Amino acid sequence: MITLRPSPLLAVVAFMFALGLSGCGGRVTGVDPYPRATDYEIFGIDVSKYQGDIDWNAVRASGVKFAWIKATEGGDHLDSKFHQNWQEAKAAGIKRGAYHFAYWCRPGHEQASWFLANVPHDPDALPPVLDVEWNGTSKTCPKKIPRELAQAQMRTILAAMERAYGKRPVIYTSVDFHRDVMVNEFTDYPIWVRSVKYHPSVKYGNRRWHFWQHTAEARVPGIHGFVDRNTFNGSARDWLAWLRPSDMHQPQPVTTTASIHKPSAQPVAEQLPAPVNPSLPNGAPQSAVVAGVKVQAPVAPIAASVSPAGAFQPVHAQGNSVSGNKVASSSKIPLTGAVAAPIPAGLIPSPTPLPPLETSRSVAAR
C-alpha cells in the first residue's frame, strides 16, 4: 500500500479552490461596484508645454473627443505651447478648452485679467476651466490659504470667465483641495475631478462630477510620452447635449481687463501669503515700494484690446514677468490698441529675480 504525504502546495491550491467556490455562493468580497474609466464612451486628454509638439490629427484619429489645454498660471505665466495647441487642436476637429492654474499668492482679479488677456473668445470652444489645487511643492507659494479666502478668489475668477466667454466655467480639483475648500460649495458648476486610484464616488462622495482625470500615464498616438487621460460622465448623446447647454449666453462686450471686479478694500489680497524667493536670506518675501504702494514683485503692466471679431488679445509692455519669462503672443493674431504706460524705471528695484513658478500641476511638473 502506497502512502501519500500531504503536500503544502496541494493544500494551498485546495484552499484557493474552496475560496472560489464560496465566492460562487454569494460571499464575494473586494469587488469594485463602480464602472471603470474605460467603460465610459467619451474620453479626452489635457496637455501643456510638457507634451511638446503634438500631432493633433493623429490624436483625433485615436478616438480622443476633447482636450483641455493649459493657457495661463497666476498673473504672469503663459504656457509656451498654448497658442500652437489652441489653433492646431481646432484645425484637427477636436473640441478644446483652455484652463488657468490658480496661484494662491496672487489676487483673483489679477489672475482673471491675465487669463482674459491671453485666451481668445471662440464660440466653438469648450467652457474655460479654473484649475484649483494646493501647491505644496511650490518654491514661491507653498502655503495653503484659509478656506474662505480660496473661495473668494475662485468666485472672482469664475465670474470674470463666465462674463467674458458666455459659458459656465468648469472647476478642476484634487481630492485634498475639494475636501478642504469645496465640499457643499460651487455645486452649480461643472466639476472635473482627479482620482487616479479610485472611482470619483469613493473620494468625492455624492458630488456630481462631469469629467474624471483617471491617469497621468496614458499613451495616445500623436503624443510623445505620457499624457493625462479623462472621461466624460455620460453617453455620447449626453456629450452632444452638454456641448449645447440651454443656459449659454453671449458674453457682454468687454473692452478692458479693468472691468473685472476688484475688491475695494482688498481684504483677500492683504491676507494672501507673499511669493517667496528662496535665494533671499531666510526665504524672505520679495517686495518693493513702487509709487508709495507695497508690491510683491515688479510686474510689467498688461493692457488688453479687442480685435474686430471681439476676441481678447494681449498687449504686453516691455519687461520681464514675475517668473522671469517674457510672454510672447501668437504672431498669427494681430494686436490692436495702445500699450499701457510702463512703470518708470527709476521706481523699479532690481533684486534677484524670482525663480520660475513651480507647482504640482504646473511649471515644474507639467
CA 353, distance to chain mean position in Å, is 25
Distance CA 198, CA 191 (A): 17
Residue 340 confidence class, pLDDT cut points 50, 70, 90: very low
Residue 118: CB partners within 8 Å, gap ≥ 6? 71, 72, 78, 82, 312, 314, 327, 329
CB 43 within 8 A of CB 230: yes
CB 115 within 8 A of CB 161: yes
Residue 12: phi and psi, rounded to 5, are: -65, -45
> Domain spanning 37-242 has what CATH number?
3.20.20.80
Cross-strand bridge partners of residue 212 = 193, 231
Say whether 87 sits in a helix, a strand or coil. Answer: helix
Is residue 162 annotated as a catalytic residue, yes or no? Answer: no
| Measured CA distances, 166 to 112, 158, 257, 351 (Å) | 15, 11, 16, 41
pLDDT value, residue 142: 86
pLDDT at 196 over 60: yes
Helical ranges in the chain per DSSP H: 8-24, 56-61, 82-91, 108-118, 147-165, 175-177, 200-204, 236-242, 267-271
Comparing C-alpha atoms, which of 55, 46, 101 is closest to residue 227?
A: 46
- Cα dihedral: 156, 240, 204, 159 (round 10): 10
Please give the DSSP secondary-structure letter assigned to residue 142. -
For 175, the grid coordinates are 481630492
Comparing C-alpha atoms, which of 154, 150, 143, 142 is closest to residue 115?
A: 154
Q: Average pLDDT for residues 211-219, to the nearest whole number?
A: 97
Lowest-pLDDT range of 51-60, 97-106, 209-218, 315-324:
315-324
pLDDT value, residue 33: 86
- Amino acid letter, residue 190: P
pLDDT at 229 over 50: yes
| Domain ranges within the chain, ordered by starting residue | 37-242
Distance CA 341, CA 72 (A): 23
Distance CA 24, CA 101 (A): 49
pLDDT at 318 over 50: no
pLDDT at 9 over 80: no
pTM score above 0.85 = no
Residue with cell 455645486: 187
| Measured CA distances, 362 to 8, 59, 74 (Å) | 53, 22, 10
Q: Which of 73, 133, 148, 162 is catalytic?
A: 133
Distance CA 18, CA 24 (A): 10
pLDDT value, residue 239: 96
Distance CA 59, CA 2 (A): 67
Please give the DSSP secondary-structure letter assigned to residue 126. P
Please give the DSSP secondary-structure letter assigned to residue 285. B
Q: Which residues of 312-326 are buried (b: 16+ CB within 10 A; e: fewer)?
A: bbbbbeeebbbbeee
Helical ranges in 96-216 per DSSP H: 108-118, 147-165, 175-177, 200-204
Neighbour count for residue 80 (Cβ, 10 Å):
13
Lowest-pLDDT range of 101-105, 115-119, 133-137:
133-137
Between 352 and 176, name the one with better pLDDT: 176
Residue 306 confidence class, pLDDT cut points 50, 70, 90: very low
For 276, the grid coordinates are 517667496
